[in-house]
Amino acid sequence: MLDCTDGSARCGRFLTSHGSVETPIFMPVGTLATVKAMTPEVLKSLGTQIILSNTYHLHMRPGEDLIAALGGLHKFMGWDGPILTDSGGYQVFSLAKLVKINDEGVQFTSHIDGSRHLLTPEEAVRIQEDLGADIMMCLDECVAYPSTREYVEVSVRRTIQWAARCLAAKKTGAALFGIVQGGMYPDLREVCSQELSPLPFDGFSIGGLSVGEDHEIMMNMVEETVAHLPADKPRYLMGVGTPVDIVESVFRGVDMFDCVLPTRNARNGMLFTRHGKMSLKQATYRLDSSPPDESCTCYTCRNFSRAYLRHLFVSGEILSSILNTIHNLHFYLELMSDIRHSIREHRFRDLKKKVKEMYDD
């Protein structure tokens, strides 16, 4: 449901069986049914509306049958808000071994135990329904960058066929998003968008980006894709990104984001602040009694110094990951809240400019 716009930037709401989600939104990544170093209670306190979990990893371990037997993914992980699951296709292509792709699906060898598997569009939907996801993704083929036009053409046709099969396989009331592919070829992304748009999907994802291309190419592909998607359904840019990626994509009409960056960087001692990135590895913070970001209201900044956070990180303490992740997720979720307010007040361009000044390296 679209509420307001500021240029192409949009504010809206998406309803699920576990609550509504305000967009634009960032989804913390909980690959293995957990956002690393976070409890569900802390995630809620930070303003998390929806989290993402990974179909491939949960299928491999502990298995969707076990999760279903224990009451579904929400009960299993103690999270009562909305959950989006990806199809698992990207992880198959990037993690599994001996991958063979054909029109039927993807044959692959598990990266955990070497067992053989076949992931079809029907199987991807079944696994996600067994998990109990609120929003499911179609199985698609995410091509490498760079890829030849000839291969991407075949891949796009296969992705479109798989999307129709995913729709036919759907049995529950969970939302299902189609995924637009097309590599870095604008006309192929247009073809994929135009063929998927008339189908009864609940939203559309932009896939196959942030795979090694530069920022300008990625933004061009986002713009080319969004131009051919329905205005009345959510648009989700998968696996992106940095603060600059987010504001530039919102500027082009994207509503939903996920990325491991805030949580992974937190574990590696890198914080996002309103003054740019901060590396706790630097010795300059050894005697610094200031909070990481004096303008931040998160638990970490209200209670701990840069010196203490640096000490925790260089000592390898578990608390380092916890406090750093609290701060980074707070930063990202506050950024999304600021984006939503700026759109409603028709000052999004000013916010975008400020973010780019802080983070456009």
Distances (CA, A) of 3 to 9, 63, 354: 11, 39, 24
Two tokens, residue 190: 């247009």
- Say if residues 97 and 109 touch (Cβ distance below 8 Å): yes
Q: Is 293 a catalytic residue?
A: no
Q: Is 258 a catalytic residue?
A: yes
Q: Is the peptide bond before 24 cis (omega within 30 degrees of 0)?
A: yes
CA 279, distance to chain mean position in Å, is 24
Distances (CA, A) of 206 to 84, 105, 212, 234, 294: 15, 20, 15, 11, 36
**E strands in 128-197:** 135-137, 175-180
**CA Rg, the chain, in Å?**
20
Distance CA 157, CA 151 (A): 10
Which candidate in 134, 140, 258, 293 is catalytic? 258
Which candidate in 86, 130, 255, 293 is catalytic? 86
Looking at this protein, which amino acid is placed at residue 90?
Answer: Y
Distance CA 231, CA 339 (A): 19
Distance CA 220, CA 209 (A): 11
Active site residues: 86, 258
